[in-house]
Amino acid sequence: MNALSRKDLYTQKASTFLLTALWFIIFTNFFTDGQPVRHVLLLIFVAYFIAISTSNKAFEKESVLINSLPVTRKQFVLAKYMSGFIWFGLSAAAVLVYIFLFDTFAPFPTRMMTIPELLIALGCFYLIISLFYPLQFKAGYILASSLTIALPLLSLMSFRIIVNIMENPRMVAEQKFFLHTADLITTNQWTIALSVLLISALLTWLSILLSIRIVRKIDFDHA
């Protein structure tokens, strides 16, 4: 199973990492400050993009692996989910370097991500791929990626709307609400992080069971 996870790493195209760099450019232009939440969103985006880029292969290619190697379908599915830790780790390293460069050269104050923020990003990332993999195994890559990309995009749009509200001098009541919410999140980061991880772990476990059930019914010889 570890070999399968490493296979995803070794076969990842260099173009994927180059395209991933575009997210850093987009976020730098989209956000003109160093708010920590932007780094959480960026980490989720980058890890998700790399993860789904390893899955854009037809089942004809995946069937060669399953039919030619002593690999069970359960191991095949588990390896997909385990690879998520690899992609998240690489993405976290890249984002932390980005934050360092942003803090050094940008005219806006920022700080490194805290451990709870990294855990929140990890939990959210696994929530998304827990939706992606069953959809991919059942309906195909295009539909799965199209549906799941909507979640981070909606998060990005929602955050942009909140920023606009905070900059609108006429929306005082809304600003107080969001400031109070932000204060609660800041003072309860560990509680929120552990809650997100718990929910993510539960949904990931259910997703793995569902994916195994779906893959066991697939006829790879005629996929």
pLDDT at position 65: 59
The CA distance from 204 to 207, in Å, is: 5
Distance separating alpha carbons of residues 210 and 197, to the nearest angstrom = 20
Q: Is the pLDDT of residue 64 over 60?
A: no
CB 119 within 8 A of CB 197: yes
- What does the CA dihedral 176, 179, 183, 186 come to, rounded to 10 degrees? 160
Measured N-to-C along each axis, helices 36-53 and 115-139 cross at an angle, to the nearest 10 degrees, of 30
pLDDT of residue 55: 61
Pick left, alpha or beta for residue 146 (phi over 0 → left; psi -120 to 50 → alpha; otherwise beta). Answer: alpha
- Cα separation of 90 and 105, whole Å? 23
Task: Identify the pLDDT of residue 132.
Answer: 92
Q: Does pLDDT of 216 surpass 50?
A: yes
* No. of helices (H) and no. of strands (E), the chain: 10, 0
Query: Average pLDDT over the chain, rounded to whole?
Result: 78
Size of the chain, expressed as the number of residues it contains:
223
pLDDT score at 112 = 83
Is residue 104 scored above 70 in pLDDT? yes
Q: Where do the domains of the chain lie?
A: 2-222
Which residues lie below 8 Å from residue 11, measured CB to CB, with a gap of 6+? 54
- In the numeric block, the tokens 């987009």 are attached to 26
Query: Residue 198: what residue type?
Result: L
Per-residue pLDDT, 5: 58
Contact 137, 223 (CB under 8 A): no
Yes or no: say if 4 and 77 are a contact pair by the CB < 8 Å rule: no
> Which range has the worst mean pLDDT, 43-47, 108-112, 206-210?
108-112
